[in-house]
Structure 1
Amino acid sequence: MIGSKRVRDELAVRQLYARQAQAIDGGQAEAWARTFTVDGEFRSETYPAPVIGWHDLAEFARDFTRAAALQGEVHRHWMNALAFEHIDRKTARAKFYLAVLAADSSSSRILRHVLVDDELARDRRGWLVRIRIVRADRPVVVGGGPR
């Protein structure tokens, strides 16, 4: 039974991330914001300041959509390599890789590749992001430093 609950929760978290990506990429700012807790936090090295709470998260998502439109592009979030672990019944942690892609009518490119570390909370609506920390992807240094 414990294994099936873990599998159900991991599948629910994967669906959360799919809904998040499709909401922000589709210009549904409020829907994206509501995949976070009411006081949810988005902290990223790739943006100048933390974004906290539904109102500011929705505005952040609107800005994301506007920026892509101004460049004549669509931006897409591509998530992969999810590692999920329960902390307790109502808290979990998830880490994954995220590529943000840009596409226009003739080409596509990777805008950035980052590492995402989420603290998740479960409420009556299911799993939500409480705190998201986004770090720029950097080379791993092995054996005492660069040569």
Structure 2
Amino acid sequence: MSSQSSDLQASDIYQFYARQTHLIDSGRHADWASTFLDEGEFHSPTYPEPAIGKDALVGISQAFAETALAANEVRRHIMTNIWIRQTNAGLCKVECVLLVTATSSDCTRVLRTMNITDDLAYQSGFWKVNYRVVRATP
């Protein structure tokens, strides 16, 4: 793969994460869920059970919004340190750091930092999550 095509692929993946965080943070639950494959999986210590499939993923997004509303906060996901570990024929393994922030009337604070490992698949012109594991940062 040439350096130019590698740079374009990295740019697409960075855009994928930017889009995904904007979708969940703006309450576009179904659109956020559509950034996963139809039977995509989301495993996180924040939620008691893995979310598998569109309906469960929509539920994760809705739970995030409801928790923020109940706390009277605006919450945001910030993906950083995106490391594209491996790409191979439309598949990609990515590691990154997630910061979740909460803003109330008087301050912004970091709620948590997490490590994310994603298996992405390129499908119908878009990167999508096949399998996501979220781990608490020690």
Contact 1:42–1:51 (8 Å) recurs in 2 = yes
For residue 68 of structure 1, what is the aligned residue in structure 2?
68
For residue 121 of structure 1, what is the aligned residue in structure 2?
121
Give unmatched runs, 5+ long, in structure 1.
Answer: 139-147
Task: Find the aligned partners of 1:37 and 1:60 in 2 and give their Cα distance.
Answer: 15
TM-score by length of 1: 0.90
Greater displacement, 46-55 / 81-90 = 81-90
For residue 4 of structure 2, what is the aligned residue in structure 1?
4
Question: Sequence identity, in percent?
Answer: 34
Deviations 1:94-123 (A, max 9, x none): 100111000012111111100000000001
**Runs of 4+ residues over 4 Å off in structure 1:** none
Contact 1:84–1:92 (8 Å) recurs in 2 = yes
> What secondary structure, in the 3-state scheme, does the structure 2 residue paired with 1:47 have?
coil
> What secondary structure, in the 3-state scheme, does the structure 1 residue paired with 2:68 have?
helix
Structure exhibiting the larger radius of gyration computed from Cα positions: 1
**CA offset at residue 81 of structure 1?**
0.7
**CA offset at residue 27 of structure 1?**
0.6
Give unmatched runs, 5+ long, in structure 2.
Answer: none
RMSD between superposed Cα atoms in Å: 1.1
Task: Find the aligned partners of 1:47 and 1:66 in 2 and give their Cα distance.
Answer: 14
> What secondary structure, in the 3-state scheme, does the structure 1 residue paired with 2:106 have?
coil
Contact 2:85–2:95 (8 Å) recurs in 1 = no
Q: Which amino acid aligns with 1:47?
A: Y
For residue 23 of structure 1, what is the aligned residue in structure 2?
23
Q: Which amino acid aligns with 2:87?
A: I
Contact 1:46–1:135 (8 Å) recurs in 2 = no
Q: Does 1:111 align with 2:111?
A: yes
Deviations 1:18-41 (A, max 9, x none): 111111111110111001111110
**CA offset at residue 45 of structure 1?**
2.1
Q: Which amino acid aligns with 2:56?
A: D
For residue 98 of structure 1, what is the aligned residue in structure 2?
98
> What secondary structure, in the 3-state scheme, does the structure 1 residue paired with 2:69 have?
helix
For residue 40 of structure 1, what is the aligned residue in structure 2?
40
TM-score by length of 2: 0.95
Q: Which amino acid aligns with 2:137?
A: D
